[in-house]
Amino acid sequence: MAQEITERKKAEESVLESRAKLETALASMTEAIFIADAEGRFVNFIDEFIRYHRFKNREACSKEITECPNYLDAYFGDGTPAPVEMWAMSRALRGETGSNVEYMLRRKATGETWWGNYNFGPIRDSNGKITGATVTTNEITQRKKTDEALKRYTAELEVSNKELEAFAYSVSHDLRAPLRTLDGFSQAVLDDYGDKLDDTGKDYLRRVRDAAKHMDQITRDMLTLSRVIRSELRIDDVNLSNIVSTIAKELSEKEPTRKVEFIISPDVMVKGDASLLQMALYNLLENSWKFTAKIKEARIEFGTVFKDNERIYFVRDNGVGFNMQYVDKLFQPFQRLHTEDEYPGTGIGLATVQRVIRRHGGRIWAESQLGKGTTIYFTLG
């Protein structure tokens, strides 16, 4: 008899110890855990449970699920009211299960609202009979606020893009037309009245034409930049080596008197938008071509390197280079590191390249040294 009492006492102590460990584990979890019996009476009240429902103590929901509507209003993820029979615990007691179901709760006493992400399901005995239910939830109020802010930002961005599109349209039609007129009449004056002008007058008109052409090129580049930002990506297999080879041939044919050595790694394949990548590579190679113009033995190289398990692409030249002190300006629109007289351009080409690379989930950077050339590196996501 004494032995039975001792064993029973040990068993009771073991149960109490296990229960204490369970309560400690539940209290340490960041999720709110609700457990009810088959009648919907709550059987646990950990601190997280009380905190989650914005209660100061166990003032509410201390007996059964049907008491909760006296203190809380519940809403589905779409904002429509949820009757108590559709609350997570009620559904679990009917044998339903749910994963990552969103609810919004409102505290009647204060009007405070918050969001939760629920997982719920029934507890069954060995015969399959429902003996209770569990619900776990994480509060996602901050995430919902962030999502709403992101939606507002996206809407504002869409408006900005439409305004940019309207601006690009205006640039391409309203501004370029008078530029063409300015260039055309300047040429007409030179053709029809050139014999009546001295050299200074002719030089002035040539400068007017050059300025008009330069402005026209700027508007073209701005329009291209706008299209890069707005265009839809068409992802496909792209052979960058073939693109570089074609561009190298085109540049060489434009200036056949120049001798430039091209070194192109073969069969560099990527996933991307072929037209945008062709645009980016053309700008990079054209830059290298331009900045090696005064180099006797010019060399332009395209290839890849691997670093930290990442494939990095590069375009390298042995041209004039630039001072790395100004590298932050390199990819900004209209920022130029060389004068127009030295090397003509609009300062938009590398900004366009950066937009193309970013749209492919990559990044771009440069390394250079005055008099020893420049290397432009980029990755593709």
**Domain co-membership, 241 together with 202:** no
* 25-63 b/e (C-beta count within 10 Å ≥ 16 → b): ebeeeeebbbbbeeebebeeebebbbebbbbeeeebbee
**Domain co-membership, 239 together with 106:** no
CB 106 within 8 A of CB 79: no
Q: Per the structure block, which two tokens stand in for 194?
A: 């050139």
**Domain co-membership, 275 together with 369:** yes
**Domain co-membership, 293 together with 370:** yes
Residue 232: alpha-carbon gap to chain centroid: 15
Q: State the CATH number of the domain containing residue 371.
A: 3.30.565.10
**Domain co-membership, 240 together with 376:** yes
What's the Cα-to-Cα distance from 309 to each of 305, 306, 312, 366, rounded to whole Å? 10, 6, 10, 20
pLDDT digits (tens), the chain, 381 positions: 555 556 656 655 554 554 555 455 445 555 678 788 888 887 765 555 666 666 665 555 555 677 777 778 888 888 888 888 788 888 999 999 998 888 888 888 888 888 888 899 999 998 999 999 988 888 888 888 888 888 888 888 777 767 766 776 666 667 777 778 888 888 888 888 888 888 888 888 888 887 777 677 667 766 766 666 666 778 889 999 999 999 999 999 888 888 899 999 999 999 998 888 988 898 899 989 988 988 888 999 999 999 888 999 999 999 888 888 878 877 776 555 555 555 555 557 788 888 889 888 999 998 988 888 899 999 997
List pLDDT tens digits, range 243-290: 999 999 999 988 888 889 999 999 999 999 888 898 889 889 998 998
List pLDDT tens digits, range 296-319: 889 999 999 998 889 999 999 998
**Domain co-membership, 355 together with 275:** yes
Domain boundary among 114, 139, 164: 139
Q: Is 175 exposed, middle or buried (0-12, 13-18, 19+ CB in 10 A)?
A: middle
Q: State the CATH number of the domain containing residue 55.
A: 3.30.450.20
**Domain co-membership, 249 together with 381:** yes
**Domain co-membership, 187 together with 253:** no
The Cα 183–Cα 135 span in angstroms is: 75
Of all helices (H) and strands (E), which one includes residue 143?
helix 141-170
Task: Report yes or no on 246 lying in a domain.
Answer: yes
**Domain co-membership, 213 together with 345:** no
Nearest to 353 by CA among 335, 331, 338, 368: 331
> How many independent structural domains does the chain possess?
3
What's the Cα-to-Cα distance from 207 to each of 198, 199, 220, rounded to whole Å? 14, 12, 20
Nearest to 235 by CA among 266, 275, 279: 275
- Rounded to the nearest 10 degrees, how much is the dihedral formed by the CA atoms of 143, 146, 147, 151? 180
SS3 state of residue 170: helix
The Cα 360–Cα 363 span in angstroms is: 9
Task: Report yes or no on 5 lying in a domain.
Answer: no
List pLDDT tens digits, range 4-13: 556 656 655 5
Domain boundary among 139, 167, 189: 139
**Domain co-membership, 107 together with 119:** yes
SS3 state of residue 376: strand
**Domain co-membership, 184 together with 156:** yes
Count the Cβ atoms, other than its own, within 10 Å of residue 203.
11
Domain boundary among 230, 246, 269: 230
For residue 228, which amino acid is it?
Answer: V
Parallel, antiparallel, or unpaired for β 260-264 and 298-307? parallel
Task: Report yes or no on 12 lying in a domain.
Answer: no
Give the global pTM.
0.51
- DSSP letter string over 187-232? HHHHHHHGGGS-HHHHHHHHHHHHHHHHHHHHHHHHHHHHHHHHSP
**Domain co-membership, 164 together with 207:** yes
SS3 state of residue 294: coil
Structural domain of 222? 145-230
